[in-house]
Amino acid sequence: MNTIDLEKEFQRKLDAEEKIEPKDWMPDDYRKTLIRQISQHAHSEIVGMLPEGNWLTRAPSLRRKVAALAKVQDEAGHGLYLYSACETLGVERDELLEQLHTGKAKYSSIFNYPTLTWADMGAIGWLVDGAAIMNQVPLCRCSYGPYARAMVRVCKEESFHQRQGYEIMLTLCNGTPEQKAMAQDALNRWWWPSIMMFGPNDADSPHTAQSMQWKIKRFTNDELRQRFIDATVPQADILGIKIPDPDLKWNEETKHYDFGSIDWDEFWAVVKGNGPCNKERLAARNKAHDNGAWVREAALAYTEKKRKKTAA
């Protein structure tokens, strides 16, 4: 087939909602966009283990601790599913990790914020995983098959994360005044960063139009952000804590919540590496990778030795 026919066939599949599979022809830019998006999604899962891992040894009860451990384990798994999906596009995981460790590839801006109290574990599960679900559910219908299938698995597991996080918040909010204040403080610090997880406004989002056309993205950043806010405000009401936005107000006409303006200067500072924990996160990743090099080599050498023994 010549290029024009290949492009026609690609477009026909997209129009028919058929999945694009690894061996199918695809435009170079479609491949590149997916590698960028899926790898940065994978990196987010890996770096996302650090802020929560920070509280594993200090969880206030054994029940909370086992749940937190299971959640962090899930995130490692999500990273693996996503790296696998990405590798079907013809890149190697080592190459992607190299991009993460050198700062060439990005990961979700949210993980550059510190976890200062136990309540942050609740706020992250409730808000950060909640925002992730809002983003990821439509990705289950993404046009690239391996990504869509990875998202189906991830979404099932994220729902456990969100519910256990909300339960932490609920317990704190039904607890002592100090516990409730801790929950409110966590909401105050995580609200805006969570809202920023949906990315820049549609007008400033360079990839949106093309990604929508390719059916990688199904909704724009602003549409998903609005949905998240509409879903989350009533959840804050149940907790009895207040979202830190004086402009947040129900709009009877649009049937949506109106909300205040986002601090985009802060968003871009974090994305460009100047958030509160960017350096710390990258340093932790690099340290684990570099100090683990000899273990990876030992594992390979051992396999090689066993192989030779069996062959002999």
Partner 1 sequence: MSNKNWPLWEVFIRSKSGINHKHVGSLHATDAEMAIENARDVYTRRSEGVSIWVVPSNTITASDPEQGDELFEPAQSKVYRHPTFYNLPDELKNM
| Chain residues in the site for partner 1 (CB under 8 A) | 1, 21, 23-25, 70, 73-74, 76-77, 80-81, 84-85, 87, 92-94, 150, 153, 156-157, 290, 293, 296-297, 299-300, 302-303, 306-307
Work out how close the CB of 149 gets to partner 1 at its nearest, in angstroms, rounded to a whole number. Answer: 8
Output phi, psi for 22, to 5 deg.
-50, -40
Work out how close the CB of 127 gets to partner 1 at its nearest, in angstroms, rounded to a whole number. Answer: 24
Considering beta carbons, is residue 11 or 73 the nearer one to partner 1?
A: 73
Considering beta carbons, is residue 154 or 241 the nearer one to partner 1?
A: 154
106 phi-psi bin (left φ>0, alpha ψ -120 to 50, beta other): beta
Considering beta carbons, is residue 82 or 172 the nearer one to partner 1?
A: 82
Considering beta carbons, is residue 77 or 244 the nearer one to partner 1?
A: 77
In sequence order, which residues have a C-beta less than 8 Å from that of residue 115 and are 6 or more positions away? Answer: 51, 52, 54, 55, 121, 124
Work out how close the CB of 80 gets to partner 1 at its nearest, in angstroms, rounded to a whole number. Answer: 5
Work out how close the CB of 63 gets to partner 1 at its nearest, in angstroms, rounded to a whole number. Answer: 18
DSSP string, 148-164: HHHHHHHHHHHHHHHHH
Work out how close the CB of 150 gets to partner 1 at its nearest, in angstroms, rounded to a whole number. Answer: 7
- What is the C-alpha separation between 33 and 21, in angstroms, rounded? 15
Considering beta carbons, is residue 256 or 305 the nearer one to partner 1?
A: 305
Work out how close the CB of 261 gets to partner 1 at its nearest, in angstroms, rounded to a whole number. Answer: 41
Rounded (5°) CA angle 158-55-139: 20
Considering beta carbons, is residue 5 or 29 the nearer one to partner 1?
A: 5
Determine how many CB atoms are found less than 10 A away from the CB of residue 201.
Answer: 15
Alpha helices in the chain (DSSP H): 3-15, 28-47, 49-53, 62-87, 93-101, 119-123, 129-139, 145-173, 177-196, 208-213, 221-239, 264-269, 278-291, 293-311
Output phi, psi for 176, to 5 deg.
-70, 165
Considering beta carbons, is residue 206 or 294 the nearer one to partner 1?
A: 294
Work out how close the CB of 178 gets to partner 1 at its nearest, in angstroms, rounded to a whole number. Answer: 35
